[in-house]
A = this chain, B = another copy of it.
């Protein structure tokens, strides 16, 4: 029998990972449909005609798009498992604020490092990324309140939003021979990242660094070929 929940995605995508972790936390059984992206499947084009991007969550065939919207939907639509967003409205607002910061500011800066046209631009990009991490180290302090996760005792919304980027952070650290989330500069985030990656709800979806690096190299070659034409 067809499952009532489906996720259309691809393993290296941090955004797809968010949907999968949320479903895992809510103990929702679902079918994972690997999206080829080249060309984009008819199901993807039909389900997300505006952005044509993964992930798409299908619930009773009704599509929900945009990873953070999916995470909130999963939290609201399934009462199984623990809550992903905090119950207190102020705490929810703070987690939403930092999740939006990650997607709108931090991740674009992070992506800019790999795509920098020269060393100067790269250094500037790295500075922005590190400034962001320092803000997030402070945010961790305030959100976690001495507990292991941004969400407190358990993985929550902001853990998912940030944690899904960790695979790519590790790839960037290796490829550029740098430290980003370091024991020195951001010790709390460093310990959090270890905890997050080892968590039962996460570990099956966290891509292996070597495998992701292979994918990243292929992606960069494509990007450079496109940029030089």
Contact = CB atoms under 8 A, between A and B. Distances in A.
Given A59-B90, A90-B62, A100 B69 contact: yes
A225 B94 CA distance: 37
Chain A interface residue number, banded = 20 to 34
A73 B50 contact: no
Interface in A50-64: 50, 59, 62, 64
A77 interface: yes
Interface in A80-127: 89-90, 92-94, 96-97, 100-101
Contacts of A101: 50
Contacts of A197: none
A93 B59 CA distance: 12
A50 B89 contact: no
B72 A90 contact: no
A66 B100 contact: yes
Nearest to A73: B93
Contacts of A73: 89-90, 92-93
Contacts of A100: 66, 69
A135 interface: yes
Interface of A: 50, 59, 62, 64-66, 69-70, 72-73, 76-77, 89-90, 92-94, 96-97, 100-101, 135
A79 B72 CA distance: 20
A69 B50 contact: no
A66 B62 CA distance: 29
Given A73-B93, A76-B89, 17 more contacts: A50-B101, A50-B135, A64-B90, A64-B93, A64-B94, A64-B97, A65-B97, A66-B96, A66-B100, A69-B96, A69-B97, A70-B93, A73-B89, A73-B90, A73-B92, A77-B89, A77-B90
Contacts of A94: 64
Contacts of A90: 59, 62, 64, 73, 77
